[in-house]
Chain A
Amino acid sequence: MGATQEGRKSPTYGADDRVLDGNVLAGSLGEVFGVEITSAHVACAGCGRRQAVAELVVYASAMGSVARCRGCGHVMLRVAQVRSEVVLDLQGCSSLRVAGEG
């Protein structure tokens, strides 16, 4: 089981319901990595906070998604679907840890 940081608080990003979370990235990232990625842990390049991909604050649009750190709001990950390609920008992640099988 992964773990979130203790005593975490959700930043308020307004009542905009287009703000989702990283669970919504499961399908598109699954196609890229071929493994379940929402339970992988990423560390924020801005503040260092370690969190599951599922916990990121995601702004989804028809063009793609932007995922921000739940702690500091730093952009950690961008995903766009461009015709048949999925384009991924991971600049805001200082590490990505994926559990191996077994």
Chain B
Amino acid sequence: MARVTWQPAYLVSRKEETADAVTLVLGVPGWPGHLPGQHADVRLTADDGYSTQRSYSLATPDHGAEVALTVQVVEDGEVSPFLARELAIGDPVELRGPVGGWFVWHPRSTRPVLLVAGGSGVVPLMAMVRARHESGGGAPMLLAYSVRTPDDVIYADELARRAELDDGLTLVLVHTRRAPNGSVRPVGRVNRSELVGWASELGPNLDVFVCGPTGFVDAVSDALVDGGVDGRSIRTERFGPSGG
């Protein structure tokens, strides 16, 4: 494998996903391709030479020289507000990637997949949902996506569409603070019986991917293991606001 190094990239387009999440499409002429779940490091360098970097999950499957990152804005952060709101179309950034090889899903896999997302932890899992669609794969897949309120759902329209059109894909939205009118599930955190229920619905030989804030990921993976799911089938990725 070739050494992963910094490459020039430029902003192609941006899309507002929610009040504080933005998807950036970057053109990266030298991008070597990636698997769903991998991420990229973004480096910004100021005129005085000061530079800083952050890691973001790739939101789409491999589309050649264009990569999409979804950035959750940390209001007092150093990098995310700039990337989300100030970087102009055509502006340069440097990108290093793809990085990571543990938290990846191979679209050729036919094993059932349980995806559990907390907040912007949905980004790498969305790359898996999209990869399943684009590859025409038939692996049974359930995405359980925990959000505070309906306004916080990233990719809301596409997820609703995918859930309707993609055979074998199930979407479960878990609202922890406020649910939409008419919602059957009471507001609250995802619990062990729900998690174990989804796992057993999907059947044996399951692969599980959990991504979100550290506390969320620890709680979900512990609940799954307590509920009898083989810990070896669970892959986790934790993030925190420290990135900014």
Which chain A residues have a beta carbon within 8 Å of chain B's beta carbons? 2-10, 12, 15-24, 26-27, 30-31, 34-36, 38-39, 52-55, 60-61, 101
List the B side residues contacting A8 at CB < 8 Å. 225, 231
9 contacts across the A-B interface (CB closer than 8 A)? A3-B232, A4-B232, A20-B214, A21-B214, A24-B55, A26-B55, A27-B4, A36-B101, A55-B102
B9-17, B167-175, B234-242: which one contacts chain A? B234-242
Interface residues of B, Cβ cutoff 8 Å to A? 1, 3-5, 39, 41, 53, 55, 96-97, 99-103, 213-215, 217-218, 221-222, 225, 230-232, 234-242
CA distance A53 to B99 in the complex (A): 13
B100 and A38 form a contact (CB under 8 A): yes
Is B1 a contact of A101 with CB atoms below 8 Å?
yes
- Other A-B pairs, 7, CB within 8 Å; known A5-B231, A8-B225, A34-B3: A4-B232, A6-B230, A12-B218, A17-B213, A34-B4, A54-B102, A60-B240
Q: Which 8 A-B pairs have the closest CB atoms?
A: A54-B102, A17-B240, A36-B101, A26-B99, A26-B100, A10-B218, A39-B102, A27-B41
| Distance between B107 CB and nearest chain A CB, rounded to angstroms | 15
Q: A3-B232, A26-B39, A101-B1 are in contact. Are A17 and B102 (CB under 8 A)?
A: no
Chain A residues near B4: list those with CB within 8 A. Answer: 27, 30-31, 34
Are A19 and B231 in contact, CB atoms less than 8 angstroms apart? no
| A10, B221: Cβ atoms closer than 8 Å | yes
Bound-state CA distance A101–B236 (Å) is 24
- Give A18 to B214 CA distance when docked, in angstroms: 8
Find out whether the CB atom of A38 lies under 8 angstroms from the CB atom of B102.
Answer: yes
Check A20–B240 contact: CB distance below 8 A. Answer: yes
Interchain CB contact under 8 A, A4 and B231: yes
Residue among A3, A8, A16, A23 facing the most chain B CB atoms (10 A cut-off): A23
Pick from B1, B5, B103, B236: contact of A35, CB under 8 Å: B1
A67 → chain B, closest Cβ, in Å?
13
User: Residues of B contacting A52 with CB < 8 Å?
Assistant: 102
| Chain B, Cβ-Cβ closest to A59 | B242
CB atoms of B214 and A17 under 8 A apart = yes
Give the residue name and chain of the A residue nearest to B100 (CB): A26
Is A2 touching B102 in the complex (CB atoms < 8 A)? yes
Distance to closest chain A CB from B239 (angstroms): 6
Closest to A101 in B: B1
Query: Which residues of the other chain, A, contact B232 by a CB distance below 8 angstroms?
Result: 3-6
**Complex CA–CA separation, A89 to B39 (angstroms):** 24
**Minimum Cβ distance to chain B for residue A66 (Å):** 13
B102 in contact with A15 (CB, 8 Å): no
